[in-house]
A and B are shown apart, each in its own frame.
Chain A
Amino acid sequence: MKRFIKSILVFLLLLPLVYILGVIVWGEVFPQFLKKNLSYKVIGGYTQSRLHDVKNFKNVDVLVIGPSGAYRGFDPRNFDARNIKLFNLGSSSQTPIQTELLVDKYIDQLNPKLVLYVVNPDIFCDPGIESMVDLISCNFVDRHHVTVPLKTYNINVYNTLIYSTYKSLIGGDGYRDEVITRDKEEKYISGGFVEKGNNEFAETTIFPPIPVSIQSDQTQAFKNILMELNKRKIKVIIIQPPLVREYYSSFKMKEIMNRFFKKLGFRYMNFNAGLPFEHKYFYDYGHLNQSGVDLFNKMVIDSLEEEEGLVFR
């Protein structure tokens, strides 16, 4: 029995070392399809470009945070044309847990007058693994923020953390121009936006009902962000960008979520209520094409100027 216990303990002591070494070697040697749980710089959304770009921005007028609806829905050029300096810190499937990390890291530098917090009806349902891996693989996570990914208990997050730390240490994590590697129709625009072109969404997809199961750690992170922004006296608007009508209708708890956002004490704008955007303004069921973005941005800016009386410059 002693021998057995001793063997197990020695094995368990060696395991982390061997595993870390294995992740590094495997990450260097094998192609991506054999790295299922190691997503180093492969997730779409131009996070790497955005985190590289953000270094050039400070004291912006508007900061946009949230999931893909943020970085695909707010074009800094539209805002710039109205003398509003905007930076977009959105990322793919970003959940409040990652938003909290991003806000914590960049709020002092960007020092915005207004934060547009992009939400959707299932923002609190996703555990945020994809977004966490995305941020880690872009070497966003430093030693001050390492406890958050460790709490995910997800092997993909851990593997990516090990490998990206190794890449940082050897200096091999340099910025790569993602424009070349991504969708040919997409283009990263300085200020955090991703331009997609004007393809129109023509599918008549039937969306099954999307259940919403709220995760308490996500709502807590969401409230933390709002409290932090409130403490800094930064104005916040919670905003639901347009989705294809059928897709929005498939969310089971959309009304409950609407009531939740309304009750928070911040202005809440839902662009899915009332007259919906037509299909021609979308390139897929969840994202606007450039015509849609231009129209949507105009409506937002008009509203900010008229209803909020915001004058930025």
Chain B
Amino acid sequence: MQFNSITFALFLPIVFILYWFVFNQKLRWQNLFLVVASYVFYGWWDWRFLILLFISSLSDFIFGYLIDKESRQFRRKTFLILSICINLGMLGFFKYYNFFVDSFIDLFSLFGIRLHASTLQIILPVGISFYTFQSMSYTISVYWRQLKSTKDIVSFFSYLSFFPQLVAGPIETANNLLPQFTKKRVFDYAKAADGMRQILWGLFKKIVIADNCAGFVDSIFSNYSQHSGSTLVFGVILFAFQIYGDFSGYSDIAIGTARLFGFELMQNFRFPYFSKSITEIWRRWHISLSNWLRDYLYTPLAISTRNWGLAGILFSSIITFTLCGLWHGANWVYVVFGLLHGLALSYEILTRKQRKKWSKKTPVFIYDSLSMLLTFIFWNITLVFFRSASIHDALGYFKGMFSTSLFSAPHPDIGVNPLTISVLIPLFIIFEWMQRDKQHAMQIDSTRMSRPVRWACYFLLIFLIGMLGNTGDVPFIYFQF
């Protein structure tokens, strides 16, 4: 069930009313109802996906309990490894099986060895990368004794299947979200109203910004050899806004929806395009994934390589980001995307002192603006890999981009006026800049703004969605991950 669908527009109020008016007597009933609602939400795509979600939930509930109860370290470790194997095994099979088979065949063919292995027709279950990571965070936290295992199976199942963030995050750690299922929720008007605002802003970002960019991006990337260099630059910039509007829009809807049910999810995007370095962009972009990777991959890696000194930190950064790239999808383009970010981060670690000196010598406004611009340019360069179907296509895209036609006027002729999106994006940036200190761009202080003014803002946003939104059914990009 997509957030931007009529089905969800009907599903949400029904679940909301039943949750607060029918199942509000007992916490357990409320949680059980959330599990049922979440399974309906997820099963709407394909009921078979529910089997994987159920296996992941049940196995980690059991392993969490066993790890917590067990005092012998060897056994604790064995249970943890088993839990990770089940999660990564499912993820590996459904997401990476064909990729690894194809890659091995290609690798051996380089040495003149012809292997014959068949790939499988596997449907990628929606959101599998998100909930397996969330599930693993629980058993790892229990193993590290950061968290006591829960004996409440209903709470655990509702934590893992919680529909607002099930298919595309934020990837909530058990430390933050699980305890919220064990406490009675009280309806908070201010929180719910703010949640509604965040949902509205998320829908605007998705339907007006991201989906309007999508048509241009799809057309330009699929026919990159037919376009001028400047059009290709235009295409990748639009993709930067498409993916931002799409994914952060999803996160806003997820966080806003969770607030309607009395839950607080973590902030997943903090205006990343105003970052002044690649290190900063990853603190602002898909924060929940960055935090997960930092806590469960980078830190253990850095600790295990601490004897290597600076080389250990660089090595851990590069490995973490390369795997971060691979997390996005079973394709070498994502690996290159991650690797480039790992290298950029390493460069920033190595030049930290030098850059600090430059920043002192240069006026703040100039240094900050230049840093933001360079960060955005680098981000866009790596996005060419992210969006291309193959490394070959990405290189072809670069070749087309850095040609003499780079200095001609962009001409993305797809039958839609590019002026609309060219006007919308600068206005969108200005608005986000003005609100950059807030949790989300539609966060409004109710005491400072009267109701008619607030409502006028909501009406305007809804109106803009209706007047300028893309009427096509464009799925969220991150569902495929």
Please report A residues at the B interface, Cβ cutoff 8 Å: 1, 3-4, 7-8, 11, 14-15, 18-19, 22-23, 26, 32-38, 129, 153-156, 158-159
Check B187 for interface membership: any CB of A closer than 8 A.
yes
A143–chain B nearest beta-carbon distance, Å: 23
Instruction: Report the separation of the CA atoms of residues A97 and B14 in the bound assembly, to the nearest whole angstrom.
Output: 34
- A126 → B minimal CB distance (Å): 13
Which of the candidate stretches B42-50, B107-115, B250-258, B463-471 sits at the interface with the other chain?
B463-471
Instruction: Give Cα A156 to B459, complex, Å.
Output: 18
B419 at the interface (CB under 8 A from A): yes
| B463 and A37 contacting across the interface, CB-CB below 8 Å | no
Q: Kindly provide the distance from the CB of A221 to the nearest chain B CB, expressed in whole angstroms.
A: 21
- Answer whether residue B20 sits at the interface, using C-beta atoms and an 8 A cutoff: yes
A14 to B469, CA, bound (A): 21
- The yes or no answer to B364 lying at the interface (CB within 8 A) is no
Partner among B20, B189, B417, B462 whose Cβ is within 8 Å of the Cβ of A3:
B189
Closest CB-CB distance, A22 to chain B, in whole Å? 4
Is the pair A4, B187 in contact by a Cβ cutoff of 8 Å?
A: yes
Taking a contact as CB atoms under 8 Å apart, the answer to whether B420 and A155 are in contact is: no
> Does B434 reach chain A (CB closer than 8 Å)?
no
Which residues of B (114-145) have their CB < 8 Å from a CB of A?
none
Compute how far the CA of A15 lies from the CA of B455 in the bound complex, rounded to whole angstroms. Answer: 10
A156 to B465, CA, bound (A): 11
Contacts A19-B466, A33-B417 hold; do A154 and B423 have CB atoms under 8 A apart? no
A202 to chain B, nearest CB (A): 18
B99 contacts partner chain A, Cβ-Cβ < 8 Å? no
The answer to whether B469 touches A155 (Cβ under 8 A) is yes
CA distance A185 to B193 in the complex (A): 56
> A15-B462, A19-B463, A22-B459 are contacts. A34–B189 as well, Cβ < 8 Å?
no
B468 touches A34 (CB 8 A): yes
Inter-subunit contact A155/B471 (CB<8 Å): yes
**Which residues of chain B in 404-456 are interfacial with respect to chain A, using CB atoms and an 8 Å cutoff?**
417, 419-420, 423, 455
B192 contacts partner chain A, Cβ-Cβ < 8 Å? yes
Q: Say if the beta carbon of B10 comes within 8 Å of chain A.
A: no
* Chain A residue with Cβ nearest B6: A153
**Smallest CB–CB gap between A19 and chain B, Å?**
6
Report, nearest first, the 3 A-B pairs whose CB atoms are least far apart.
A33-B419, A22-B463, A33-B417
Q: Is the beta-carbon distance between B459 and A18 smaller than 8 angstroms?
A: yes
Distance, CA A15 to CA B462, complexed state (A): 9
Task: Say how far B412's CB is from chain A's closest CB, in angstroms.
Answer: 14
Q: Let me know if A34 and B187 touch, CB within 8 A.
A: no
Q: Which residues of A contact B11 (CB under 8 A)?
A: none
Interface residues in B171-220 (C-beta closer than 8 Å to A): 187, 189, 192-193, 196, 212
A-B contact pairs, 23 of them (CB 8 A): A4-B189, A4-B193, A8-B196, A11-B458, A14-B455, A19-B459, A19-B466, A22-B467, A23-B463, A23-B466, A23-B467, A26-B463, A32-B417, A36-B212, A36-B420, A36-B468, A36-B469, A37-B466, A37-B468, A154-B471, A155-B466, A155-B471, A159-B467
Q: Bits for B317-339, please: 1 = Cβ < 8 Å to A, else 0.
A: 00000000000000000000000
Rounded to whole angstroms, the CA-CA distance of A22 and B458 in the bound complex is 13
Most buried by B among A4, A8, A15, A38: A4
The smallest C-beta distance from B194 to any residue of chain A, in angstroms, reads 11
Do A19 and B462 form a contact, CB below 8 Å, given A36-B468, A37-B471, A155-B471? yes
Q: Tell whether, in the assembled complex, residue B466 and residue A34 are in contact, meaning their CB atoms are under 8 Å apart.
A: no
Q: How far is the CB of A207 from chain B (nearest CB, A)?
A: 14
Contact assessment for B459 and A15 in the assembled complex, using a CB-CB cutoff below 8 Å: yes
**How far does the alpha carbon of A3 sit from the alpha carbon of B455 in the complex, in Å?**
15
User: Smallest Cβ distance from B234 to chain A, in angstroms?
Assistant: 16
Output the least CB separation between A204 and chain B (Å): 14
Which residue of A has the minimal Cβ distance to B422? A33
Contact across chains for A37 and B458 when beta carbons are under 8 A apart: no
- A38 interface neighbour in B20, B423, B467, Cβ under 8 Å: B467
Residues of B contacting A11 in the complex (Cβ-Cβ under 8 angstroms): 455, 458
Chain A contacts for B212, CB-based, 8 A: 36
Told that A26-B467, A32-B417, A36-B417 touch, could you supply 4 new A-B pairs with CB distance under 8 A? A1-B189, A4-B192, A34-B423, A36-B468
Which residue from chain B places its CB closest to the CB of A18 in the assembled complex?
B459
Most buried by B among A18, A32, A154: A18
A162 CB to closest chain B CB, in angstroms? Answer: 10
Residues of B within 8 A of A32 (CB): 417
Cβ distance A10 to chain B, nearest Cβ, rounded Å: 9
Closest B residue, CB atoms, query A10: B455
Closest-by-CB residue of A relative to B13 is A8
